Chains A and B, each alone.
Chain A
Amino acid sequence: MSDEKSTDTIHKTPQTSPRQSATFDEYTNSEIRRAAATGIYDIRGGGSKRKLPHFDDLLFLGASVSRYPLEGYREKCGTDVVLGTRFAKKPIYLKTPVTIAGMSFGSLSGPTKEALGRGASAVGTSTTTGDGGMTPEERGHSTTLVYQYLPSRYGMNPDDLRKADAIEVVIGQGAKPGGGGMLLGQKITKRVAKMRCLPEGIDQRSACRHPDWTGPDDLEIKIAEIREITDWEKPIYVKIGATRPYFDVALAVKAGADVVVLDGMQGGTAATQEVFIEHVGLPILAAIRPAVQALQDLGMHRKVQLIVSGGIRNGADVAKALALGADAVAIGTAALIALGDNDPHLEKEYRKLGTTAGAYDDWHEGKDPAGITTQDPELMKRVDPIKAGHRLANYITVMTMEAQIVARACGKSHLHNLEPEDLVALTIEASAMAQVPLAGTSWIPGVTKF
């Protein structure tokens, strides 16, 4: 009998393991169900979450027989950067190339803006306003404040323009190049509404185009107007989302920019459509070299400074961005995490919101348990601007030191001496995008023959 039984088992038709589709994966299916139930696209904050070719796909070669390294902790490796040397009477001097990206009061709470100002000022770098104008808190706590001049012109007034240390004409951002914004009614408190001249509690649309100019020739006149108003004192940045970086950078230079800010698709937004975030624009890795090429072709590299942003997380990313030709970087999402955003100690509260620490991105709903992306007066009390600012300062200090460690290992006495020659790529894609050789070869796809 027992022999018969075991024979049956052997001859039973074998089953394959349940197999999930790589195309219709768990997230995709959940989005189909969500769209089917609601009839409306998904809105969220943050930048692209998909895996993209990024700085992790690059490695520094370091010094060896053919290159001299510099002594760690002993030999100087400069980190300072001067922005706005082209036309401005008063360029900006920063101690670190890590700056804080534009983020608005409205999307962020008042204490968060204050914390950003405190942290950045402590380490000698700049913060940037956002849509909705400049708050006194922000000006007061930021030694160097860049004032964004946006299509919506919410809260824009010439007194603030004059109070700023630099002005950033925003044409686009990496999360949504070609798109405007939407701040939903729950975040339009009395104060936010007043600053934006809109009724309290309504959904507020931020324009995607500037109201009084179109095209690069007009931009040139607009920049001249801002220079005239500020008596040619302030550096004027032009911020673009990474799409056609070679042409856009060239046109920004032609229009008279002192500094170009180039934001990749990993750069965050307060709120926009998921489809926009994930499917429009370029990862920053693919955008830096064409941007630098445009500057070099015009003889303006290092004369018009380039700030890059979108997924900068650590000193290695900073060093790699600079090695590819940028003068400085900007951090947004990383700065918020340093302040306490998406922290695991709030896991219970993230669970209540149907998410988990690290994945929370419904910033537009104003329910952020960390008190950062909210206007809720109770929630925002959770941000202690002094402590959070201290954490941000620590984080930027670490990033700067990490970049120095890498630069010294490459034999560079200043972060700006890093160069593409110091890098290789781990993947063919990254090699082609960053225009550095595939590791172990001399091959750069599109540049040299294999």
Chain B
Amino acid sequence: METLKFDLDTKSLREVNQFLHGDASGLNGKSIVIENPNGAHNIAVGLKAELDVTIKGHAGYYAAGMNQIAKVTIEGSAGSGVAENMMSGHVHVKGFASNAAGATANGGLLVIDGDAGLRCAIALKGADIVVGGSVGSFSAFMAQAGNFVILGDAGEGLGDSIYEAKVFVRGKVKSLGADCEEKTMNAEDRQILADLLKKSGYADVSPDSFKQYGSARTLYHFHVDNAGAY
């Protein structure tokens, strides 16, 4: 596989991103290394080719935002909104992720080895997110679809106003948000969890050590009797 290196100390982010947005037929299968990211925002956003991008260090906001098809690995920590609105592909954060990781992501897989900040998986729309550590408060807020696996603990208000997304937590949950309840894990959900653990490098972790959470569906139709829940 051909590997191309870009050094953000000497090349502008705009040049790098525009190269990565080039004609897919010329980019597919290429391996890209981005050196000296130094926390720059918006690295490798809007990718839409079969690229394998490695960011050698910490990334700022929205790294790999709106990703399609590409595989992006961040060999450091990521700022807010990593892989936000991802459509497909694979984003791997080897360090920690800040707030709103995987926000509104529609597809693909986001793996965070460390902890994630507040509002992880907010308004999730179908992607899979696996967090090796713990997640901050208000995670999975209004999460609509997709699967969200947390190997550590979850903060306050997990799954507040959640729709049809599935949340799996191995550690402690500080509190559940409005309309989020513990579910009984059925065989299909257990398989989803087992597959995700395997795909994200946690094949040795038993799905049975997780509890599952989802929507109680009591707020799906606005009713005055529920006003106190908001």
Q: A: which residues have CB within 8 A of B? A: 38-40, 152-153, 156-159, 161, 182, 184-185, 196-199, 202-203, 205, 207, 211-213, 218, 221-222, 224-225, 228-232
Quick one: which of A153, A202, A203, A230 contacts B85, CB cutoff 8 A? A153
Q: Is B211 an interface residue (CB 8 A)?
A: no
Q: Which residue of the partner chain A has the closest CB to B67? A: A158
Which residues of chain A have C-beta atoms less than 8 A from B123's C-beta? 152-153, 207, 211
Q: Which of A156, A161, A213, A225 has the most CB of B within 10 A?
A: A225
State in angstroms the CA–CA spacing of A97 and B201 once bound together.
56
Q: Does B104 contact A (CB under 8 A)?
A: yes
Q: Other than A153-B104, A229-B66, A231-B18, give 10 A-B pairs with Cβ distance below 8 A.
A: A158-B46, A158-B66, A159-B68, A197-B126, A202-B220, A203-B220, A211-B84, A212-B104, A221-B61, A225-B65
User: B112 at interface (Cβ–Cβ under 8 A)?
Assistant: no
Residue of A with least CB distance to B142: A207
Asked whether A161 lies within 8 Å of B221 as measured between CB atoms, the reply is: no
- Is A228's CB under 8 angstroms from B42's CB? yes
Assess the A229–B61 pair: CB atoms within 8 A: no
Instruction: Bits for B136-151, please: 1 = Cβ < 8 Å to A, else 0.
Output: 0000011011000000
Minimal beta-carbon separation of B99 from chain A (angstroms): 8
- 25 pairs across A/B with beta carbons < 8 Å? A38-B224, A153-B85, A153-B104, A157-B85, A157-B87, A161-B66, A185-B221, A197-B125, A197-B126, A197-B145, A198-B164, A202-B163, A202-B220, A205-B142, A207-B142, A211-B84, A211-B103, A212-B62, A212-B99, A213-B100, A218-B61, A225-B61, A228-B13, A229-B46, A231-B21
A211 to B220 alpha-carbon distance, docked (Å):
20
Report A250 CB to chain B, min CB distance, Å: 22
Chain B residues with a Cβ under 8 A of chain A: 13-14, 17-18, 21, 41-42, 45-46, 48, 60-62, 65-66, 68, 80-81, 84-85, 87, 99-100, 103-104, 106, 119, 122-123, 125-126, 141-142, 144-145, 161, 163-164, 220-222, 224
Distance in angstroms between the alpha carbons of A352 and B91 in the assembled complex: 55
The reply to whether B80 and A212 contact each other, CB–CB distance below 8 Å, is yes
* A232 and B18 alpha carbons, distance in the complex (Å): 9
With A158-B48, A197-B125, A212-B62 as known contacts, state yes or no: A39 contacts B119, CB within 8 Å. Answer: no
Q: Which of B85, B122, B220 contacts A158 (CB 8 A)?
A: B85
CB-CB under 8 A from B48, the residues of chain A are 158
Interface centre among B13, B42, B68 (most CB of A within 10 A): B42
From A158, A196, A203, A228, give the contact of B221 (CB < 8 A). A203
Q: How far is the CB of B164 from chain A (nearest CB, A)?
A: 6
Distance (Å) between the CB of A182 and the closest chain B CB? 7
Partner of B106, one of A157, A207, A228, A229: A157
CA A152 to CA B143, docked complex, whole Å:
11
Is A229 within 8 A of B80, CB to CB? no
- Asked if A203 and B60 sit within 8 Å, CB to CB, the answer is no
* Distance A158 CA – B67 CA, assembled complex (angstroms): 8
Question: Which B-chain residue is minimally distant from A230 (CB atoms)?
Answer: B46
A211/B46 in contact, CB under 8 A: no
Chain A residues whose CB sits within 8 angstroms of the CB of B41 once the complex forms: 221, 224-225
Q: Are B66 and A199 in contact (CB under 8 A)?
A: no
Q: Which of A184, A212, A224, A231 contacts B81 (CB 8 A)?
A: A212
Taking CB atoms, residues of chain A closer than 8 Å to B224 are: 38-40
Contact A203 B103 (CB under 8 A): no
Docked pose: A292 CA to B142 CA in angstroms: 37
Query: Residues of B contacting A182 with CB < 8 Å?
Result: 222
A212/B84 in contact, CB under 8 A: yes
B215: min CB distance to chain A, Å: 10
Closest residue on chain B to residue A231 by CB atoms: B18
User: A199-B220, A212-B103, A229-B46 in contact; A158/B68 too (CB < 8 A)?
Assistant: yes
In the complex, what residue of chain A is closest to B225 when comparing beta carbons? A39
Q: Complex Cα distance A231/B22, Å?
A: 10
Question: Which residues of B sit under 8 angstroms from A207, Cβ to Cβ?
Answer: 123, 142
Contacts of B142 in A (CB 8 A): 205, 207
The verdict on A225 contacting B62 (CB below 8 Å), with A153-B125, A211-B123 known, is: yes
- Give the complex CA separation of A292 and B211 in angstroms: 55
* Contact in complex: B163, A156 (CB < 8 Å): no
Q: How far is the CB of B150 from chain A (nearest CB, A)?
A: 18
Closest to B61 in A: A221
- B119 — which chain A residues lie within 8 A by C-beta? 211
Task: Give the docked Cα–Cα distance between A230 and B21 (Å).
Answer: 9
Are the C-beta atoms of B87 and A158 separated by less than 8 Å? yes
- In whole angstroms, how far apart are the Cα atoms of A190 and B141 in the complex? 24
Interface hub of B81, B103, B141 (most chain A Cβ within 10 A):
B81
B17: chain A residues at CB < 8 Å are 228-229, 231
Measured CB to CB, the closest approach of chain B to A92, in angstroms, equals: 21
Chain A residues within an 8 Å CB radius of B145: 197
CA distance A222 to B85 in the complex (A): 12
- Structural contact, A225 and B100, CB atoms closer than 8 A: no
Task: Name the A residues within 8 Å of B125 (CB-CB).
Answer: 153, 197
Q: Give the residue of B45, B60, B104, B161 whose beta carbon is less than 8 angstroms from that of A229.
A: B45
Which residues on the B side are within 8 Å of A40 (C-beta)? 224
CA distance A222 to B45 in the complex (A): 11
CA A39 – CA B226 in complex, angstroms? 12
Q: Which residues of B contact A225 (CB under 8 A)?
A: 41-42, 45, 61-62, 65
Residues of B within 8 A of A205 (CB): 142, 161
Give Cα A198 to B145, complex, Å.
8
With contact pairs A198-B144, A228-B45 given, residues A213 and B163 touching in the complex (Cβ less than 8 Å): no
- Nearest-Cβ distance from residue A431 to partner chain B, whole angstroms: 43
Query: Which single member of A197, A203, A213 contacts B144 (CB below 8 Å)?
Result: A197
**Contact (Cβ within 8 A) B45 A202:** no
The smallest beta-carbon distance between A101 and chain B, in angstroms, is 24
Complex: chain B residue closest to A162, CB-CB: B46
Closest Cβ–Cβ distance, residue B213 to chain A (whole Å): 18
| B21, B123, B141 interface centre (most CB from chain A within 10 Å) | B123
**Closest approach, in angstroms, between the C-beta of A149 and any C-beta of chain B?**
10
Minimum C-beta distance from B148 to chain A (A):
14
Q: How far is the CA of A203 from the CA of B122 in the complex (A)?
A: 19
How far, in angstroms, from A161 to B68 measured CA to CA in the complex? 13
For residue A203, which residues in chain B have a CB less than 8 angstroms away from its CB? 220-222
